[in-house]
Structure 1
Amino acid sequence: HNQDSRVRVFQFRRNYGKSAALAQGFKEARGELLVTLDADLQDDPEEIPNLIRKLEEGYDLVSGWKKHRRDRLVKRVTSRIFNRVTCLLTGLKMHDINCGLKCYRREVTDTIKVYGQLHRFLPVLAQWAGFRVGEVVVQHHPRKYGKTKFGVSRFAAGFFDLLTVLFITRYTRRPLHLFGSVGMLAFLAGLGISAYLAYERLFLQRYLSNRPLLFLGILLVIVGIQFVSIGLLGEMITESNKNRDEYALRKVLS
C-alpha cells in the first residue's frame, strides 16, 4: 500500500477468521464487482478476467472450480466428499463450493451476512437469496506460501457449519416448522405408547408401575410439548426482530 495508494490494508487486533476478513472487505470495497483471492496464491490471479466474463453472462456470483487440484490426496478426497454432500443437501449444482477465488456483484455482498465460518457456503447463501450462481474452471498451483490448516477437526467443523446453513436457509424465518415437527413426532410417539399401556392396564389387567415403557411415553409427551413451545418462542422472536427485508430484488420494470 506504500507503493500504490489504491491499495488499502486492514489489520485486525487478532485473528478473527476468514469470515470476518471477508465481511470487512465486503464492507470497505467500493466497486460494483468484487473479487476474493487467498493470499497463498494457489489460485492464479490471471484467472480473474475469466470469472468476470462468466459473470457478464448474467450471473451474480461466479466461483472458481479447481478441477485439477494440486493438494494431497486426503485433502482432495475429503473436499470432494464435502462438496458432494453439500450439493446434495442444498440443491446447489457446483463442483467446488469453497474455492477462495470468487467474483461477486455488489448486490450479493450487500445482501449476504457472513459470520462464524460460513464463508465456506457463500454460494449456497447466495442461491438461497435468489442470486444466480455459476462456476468456471481455474488453474490451481502447488502451495508455495504458508501452511495448510486442513485437518480432521476442520473437516468436522465444516459439516457442523453445513447444519447451520441448512437451518438458516430453511427455518430461520419459520422455526416452528422445525421444532414443531420434531415436537409433534415425539408427542405422538409418547401418546401412542401411553394409549397402548392404557389398553394393557384397562383390558389386560397388567401392572404398569415397573414398566420402563411408561416412563418413556411420559418423557416423549413432555419433550414434544417443550419442542413445540420452543418453536412458538422462536416464531415470536423472529416476528419481533424483523429489521430487514426477507427478499432481494433483481430489478424494477416501469
Structure 2
Amino acid sequence: MKLTLKKIHDNKIFEWSVVTVIILSALLIGAKTYHLPATVISILTYMDIAVTVFFLLEISIRFIASDDKKNFFKSGWNIFDTLIVVVSLIPIEDSEMALVGRLVRVFRVMRMISIVPELRILINSLLKAMPQLSYVMLLMFIIFYIYGAVGSFFFTDINPVLWGDIATSMLTLFRVMTFEDWTDVMYETMETYPLSWSFYLSFIFFTAFAFLNMVIGIVVSVLEKENAAHDRQMLLEQSEEKMTQLDEIQQELDEIKALLKAQQV
C-alpha cells in the first residue's frame, strides 16, 4: 500500500491534479464574492466540499507514502497544509466563526507554494534573507525619520495635510519614494523654497536607488544560494537512488551466480 501510494504521490499527473484543484479552489472563493442565484450557490457549496475531501485524501497520501513519518510534521509546509485541511473540515459556515472559515479557504490558495518546489525556494530565500534585510530596513527607517522631521519643520505651513507631523511626513516620503505624483509635491514646496528640489532628489537617491537595490541584491544572493543547495540535494538524491539500483542489480547478479554454481554442482 505504501509503495502504491508513493507511486501515486510521485506521479506528475497527481501533482498537476493537485495544482488544478488548488486553482479551482481559488476560483470558487472568487465566485462566492458575487451575488449569485441560490442554485449556483448550492452547486458551489458541493464543489467546495469535494475540494476539501480531495485535499484530505492528498494529505493522507503524502503522510502514508512518507518514508519518515516521525519527522513528517517537523516540516513547516506539512504543518501548514494539515492545519488548512483540518480547519476546512470543521462545519462553521453557519456559525459565528463563518468569517474564519472563509479566511481559511482563502489561505488554501497558498498551498500552491507547498506543492510547487520553485515557489518553496522563493519563500525560503525570502525568509532566510530577513536577518540581512532587517539592517537595511532599519537604516532606511532612520533616513525616513530624518527626512520626515526635516520636511515637517520646513513644509508644514505650506501643506499641513502632507507635512503636518512626522508620521504624515513619512507617509508623504513613501509616496515620493514610489514616484506617485511626487513632482506635484516637489513643485508645491519649490514655490516657497526654490532649492527644496535637492531635498527630494537626495531622498530618492538614498531610498529608491541605493537601499532598494541593496534589498534586491540581498534577496537575489540568497536565492542563488538556495537554488545551488536545491541542485545539490537533487543530485544527492539521484546518486542515492542510482546506488540503490546498483545494489539491487548486484544482489540479483549474486543470486544468478549462486544458481549457476548450484547447477554446476
**What is the TM-score when the length of structure 1 is the normalising length?**
0.31
**Bigger proportion of residues as strand:** 1
Please tell me whether Structure 1 or Structure 2 has the larger radius of gyration of its CA atoms: 2
Task: Answer 1 or 2: higher relative contact order, Cα 8 Å, separation at least 6.
Answer: 1
TM-score, length basis structure 2: 0.31
